[in-house]
Amino acid sequence: MTRFDKITGRLPKRKGAASLIYRALFIAAVFVIQALVLPFITVLPSVPLILPLAAVASAMFEGGFRGAAAGLFAGALCDIALCRPISRFAVLLTVVCLVIGILSETVVARGFAPYFLMCVATLFIAAGVQSFTLLFFEGVPLHWLIAEAMVQTLTSLPFTVPIYLALSRAPGRER
């Protein structure tokens, strides 16, 4: 506690290890759902991408650098779930979560509406990253990739509600 905190009577902000452990276990559980459950649900027109949603929620509630660590962890697991080398989503989610964490500490409120909008933006960016190779090296038409990105985003968005509710009530969260 600093001298200024003693004068003003404010207590220092504390975020315990319980919050980090809870979020890491939650991201690991989301990875299991992403890798082992969702690819085998044939009712959906596309496989939802839910690990970025958990990373965005962690970044909103943890802040910049802890959110970037959650983004790195979720991105590496997302690369593993999609059977790709650990690089694309690990870097993408680290940068996206760092920006979202800093924005949530300074400018953006930590409610559901900002979370939902950040999830939509993150899913579109993730779809762009996924389609980069297909567009430039495989010659897949752009309108097919845009349509697939829209379908994947729309099938992923219903998962924002349970992920937000699970992480907004995490232990150690500032209210």
More confident position, 22 or 1? 22
Of the candidates 84, 73, 85, 83, the residue with the CA atom closest to the CA atom of residue 30 = 73
Q: What is the tens place of the pLDDT at every residue in 92-127?
A: 999 999 999 999 988 888 889 999 999 999 999 998
Q: What is the tens place of the pLDDT at every residue in 26-80?
A: 999 999 999 999 988 877 788 899 999 999 999 998 888 889 999 999 999 999 9
Domains of the chain (ranges plus CATH)? 15-168 (1.10.1760)
| pLDDT value at residue 10 | 46
Burial 80-94 (b: 16+ CB within 10 A, else e): bbbeeeeebbbbbbb
- Specify the length of the chain in residues: 175
Is pTM beyond 0.85? Reply is no
Cα gap 104→95, rounded to integer Å: 14
Cα gap 58→172, rounded to integer Å: 12
CB 164 within 8 A of CB 112: yes
5 confidence band (pLDDT: 50, 70, 90)? very low
